[in-house]
Amino acid sequence: MRDLRAAVGSLGVALTPGSSAAAQPAGVFNPETFTLDNGMQVVVVPNRRAPVVAHWVWYRVGTADSPLGKSGLPHFLEHLMFKGTEEIPPGAFSKIVARHGGNDNAMTSYDFTAYYQMIAKDRLELVMTMEADRMVNLRLADEQVYPERDVILEERRSRVDNEPGALLGEQLTATQYLHHPYRLPVIGWFHEIASYTREDALAFYERWYAPNNAILVVAGDVTAAELKPLAERTYGRIPARPLPERARVKEPPQHAARRIVLHHERVRQPTLIRSYLAPTFTSEGKEHAYALEVLAEILGGGQTSRLYRAIVVEQALAAGAGSFYRGVSLDSTTFRIYASPRPGTDMTQLEAAVDQELDRLLADGVTAAELERTKRRMVAEAIYARDSLQGAARVFGSALTVGMAVEEVESWPERIAAVTAEEVAMAAKAVLRLERSVTGVLLPAPAGTMG
Q: Active-site residue numbers?
A: 78
Nearest approach in angstroms of CB 23 to another protein is 8
Nearest approach in angstroms of CB 315 to another protein is 11
Q: Which is nearer to another protein, 19 or 356 (CB)?
A: 19
CA-CA distance, 85 to 81, in Å (whole number)?
Answer: 9
CA-CA distance, 180 to 71, in Å (whole number)?
Answer: 12
Question: Cβ-count burial of 366 within 10 angstroms (0-12 exposed, 13-18 middle, 19+ buried)?
Answer: buried
CA-CA distance, 21 to 165, in Å (whole number)?
Answer: 47
Residue 358: which of 241, 257, 247 has the closest Cα?
257
Q: Which is nearer to another protein, 92 or 434 (CB)?
A: 92
Residue 85: which of 202, 248, 226 has the closest Cα?
202
Nearest approach in angstroms of CB 151 to another protein is 5
Cβ 281 vs Cβ 402: under 8 Å? yes
Q: Which is nearer to another protein, 310 or 431 (CB)?
A: 310
Nearest approach in angstroms of CB 246 to another protein is 21
Backbone angle region of 136, left / alpha / beta, with phi > 0 → left and psi within -120 to 50 → alpha: alpha
Q: Which is nearer to another protein, 79 or 326 (CB)?
A: 79
Cβ 365 vs Cβ 425: under 8 Å? yes
Nearest approach in angstroms of CB 132 to another protein is 5
CA-CA distance, 109 to 212, in Å (whole number)?
Answer: 19
Nearest approach in angstroms of CB 166 to another protein is 12
Instruction: Give the other-Cβ count within 10 Å of 165's Cβ.
Output: 17
Q: Which is nearer to another protein, 116 or 182 (CB)?
A: 116
Nearest approach in angstroms of CB 39 to another protein is 15
Instruction: Give the other-Cβ count within 10 Å of 190's Cβ.
Output: 17
Q: Which is nearer to another protein, 133 or 408 (CB)?
A: 133
Q: Which is nearer to another protein, 155 or 192 (CB)?
A: 155
Nearest approach in angstroms of CB 107 to another protein is 15
Q: Which is nearer to another protein, 34 or 190 (CB)?
A: 190
**How many CA atoms does the CB half-sphere of 165 hold within 13 Å?**
10
